[in-house]
Amino acid sequence: MTTKRFSIGYALLLKKQKSFIQASLVNLAKERGIDLIKIDTEKPLVNQGPFDCVLHKLYGEEWRKQLREYLVCNPSAIVIDFPDAIERLHNRISMLDVVSEIQEVKRDECHESHETATFGVPKQIVIYEPEKLKNAEAWGEGLILKFPVIAKPLVADGSAKSHKMLLIFSSEGFESLKSPTVVQEFVNHGGVIFKVYVVGKYVKCVKRKSLPDITEEKLGGLRGCLSFSQVSNMTLDERNDERYYEMLDLEDAAMPPMSLIINIASGLRKAMKLHLFNFDVIRDTKVGNRYLVIDINYFPGYAKMPGYESVMTDFFWDVLNKKEARSFNCKNESMKLVDNNNGGCGGPEKV
């Protein structure tokens, strides 16, 4: 008896292909009857496949259009995940709004189960026109945040620029701001962040190094700002400023309560209608049992997750065998099939 084989087409940037599409993953998936096939982004998607499922981390209107057309021509295909759902993660305000949305529900649930740990997001504001802030006094008047603060580009589109942050110690630091920025209160968190990887219903929490705490005393001696980027991915050599990237022992840091992490993960997954994401959490050391979500990333670096091959293969299998189907049911609606006037469902490209 031959068992049915499935095909998953993947559309990823080269960097992502290199890290994610490793032989160990391809082989394990193959053993389970799933072929991972590279989509040629130079050619129309409708002329490729057919794929049972499309996995992607590409953006832009042209790509959305291609996915829409693909679903019109292949109505039984599954797209992981829908661009409209991913979109909210490209803005650091809408990204964290979802945490506040799930907070109410989860607070009630936690109350019932007598959990004491709470979660939320740091205090933050958005500045659309930083040039208007050049006058330091103007900043002082409207200040609702306490120094130090972190300035993060409002747009989180995966570009190197969108990861460039400023740690601001005093109002002079605002002079460096140029594009629309989210200004967030820096929360002392013991120099450790928790990265929570979500793959459908699977949740894995790992520890990573972060920025060290800034005491009132330390802050007193600091003016202006310090720029940094992707601190949790930094190598030792890159942590060359000893004032900030001092040595930390990750081993010593206690993990957050897993029940809380699972609660947040499932709340986010359902509210965002996304299957593949991770989020960064810090523990407010001043409060102790308060956790703050600071970042949510679509389709993050899963290859850094121990045993990622089997986690991903199990997820693909569930999706293809429709165990995850309920969450994909409304795909036509969320893809907003505006292009009903579809004349071009050709087969594979003819040469």
Ligand X SMILES: Nc1ncnc2c1ncn2[C@@H]1O[C@H](COP(=O)(O)OP(=O)(O)O)[C@@H](O)[C@H]1O
Three-state DSSP state, 335? coil
Q: What is the 3-state secondary structure (H, E, C) of 117-159?
A: CEEECCCEEEECCHHHHCCHHHHHHCCCCCCCEEEEECECCCC
In whole angstroms, what is the distance from residue 35 CA to residue 40 CA?
Answer: 16
**Between vectors from CA 121 to CA 116 and to CA 196, what angle results, nearest 5°?**
75
* 289 contact, one of Mg ion, ligand X, ligand 5MY, none, CB 5-8 Å limit per kind: none
Least distance between ligand 5MY and beta carbon 296 (Å): 9
Structure tokens at 165: 């942050």
Alpha-carbon gap, residue 305 to 20, rounded angstroms: 11
Among the listed residues 297, 317, 318, 331, the single contact to ligand 5MY using CB under 6 A: 297
How do 181-185 and 124-127 pair as beta strands? antiparallel
163 is in an annotated binding site: yes
Whose tokens are 């359902």? That residue is: 270
CB of 266 to ligand X, least distance (A): 21
Tell me 123's DSSP state: -
**Residue 154 CB, nearest approach to Mg ion (Å):** 13
**Residue 193 binding result from ligand 5MY, ligand X, Mg ion, none, given CB thresholds of 5 to 8 Å by partner type:** ligand X
Q: Which residues, 39 to 98, sit near ligand 5MY by CB under 6 A?
A: 57
Angle of helix 92-112 versus helix 258-272 axis, rounded to 10: 130
**Strand-pair category, 118-120 with 290-298:** parallel
One-letter amino acid identity for 40?
A: D
Nearer to ligand 5MY, 130 or 301 (CB): 301
Residue 19 in the binding site for ligand 5MY (CB under 6 A): yes
Q: Which span sits near ligand 5MY by CB under 6 A: 13-21, 41-49, 125-133, 265-273?
A: 13-21
- In the bound state with ligand X, the residue whose beta carbon lies nearer, of 55 and 149, is 149
Place of tokens 């890290």: 19
Q: Among 204, 300, 320, 335, which residue interacts with ligand 5MY (rule: CB under 6 A)?
A: 300
Q: Is 194 assigned a ligand-binding role in the annotation?
A: yes
Percentages helix, strand, coil for the chain (3-state, rounded to 5) are 35, 25, 40
Residue 90 marked in a binding site? no
- Bridge-partner residues for 53, per DSSP? 8, 78
Q: Give which of 255, 248, 156, 249 is closest to 204, Cα–Cα.
A: 255
Classify 25 as helix, strand or coil.
helix
Residues near ligand X (CB under 6 A) are 122, 150, 152, 156, 163, 165, 184, 186-187, 189, 193, 210-211, 230-232, 280, 282, 294-295
Does 187 count as an annotated binding residue? yes
Interface of this chain with ligand 5MY, residues 250 to 279, rule: CB under 6 A: 278
189 is in an annotated binding site: yes
> Any idea which residue has 């109350």 for tokens?
111
Q: Using the rule CB under 6 A, is 158 a contact of ligand 5MY?
A: yes
Contact code string over 226-245 relative to ligand 5MY, x by CB under 6 A = ----x-xx------------
Which residues belong to the annotated binding site? 16, 57, 92, 152, 163, 184-195, 210, 280, 295, 297, 301
- Judged by the rule CB under 6 A, the positions of this chain that interact with ligand 5MY are 15-16, 19, 57, 158, 195, 230, 232-233, 278, 280, 295, 297, 300-301, 304
Which residues belong to the annotated binding site for Mg(2+)? 280, 295, 297
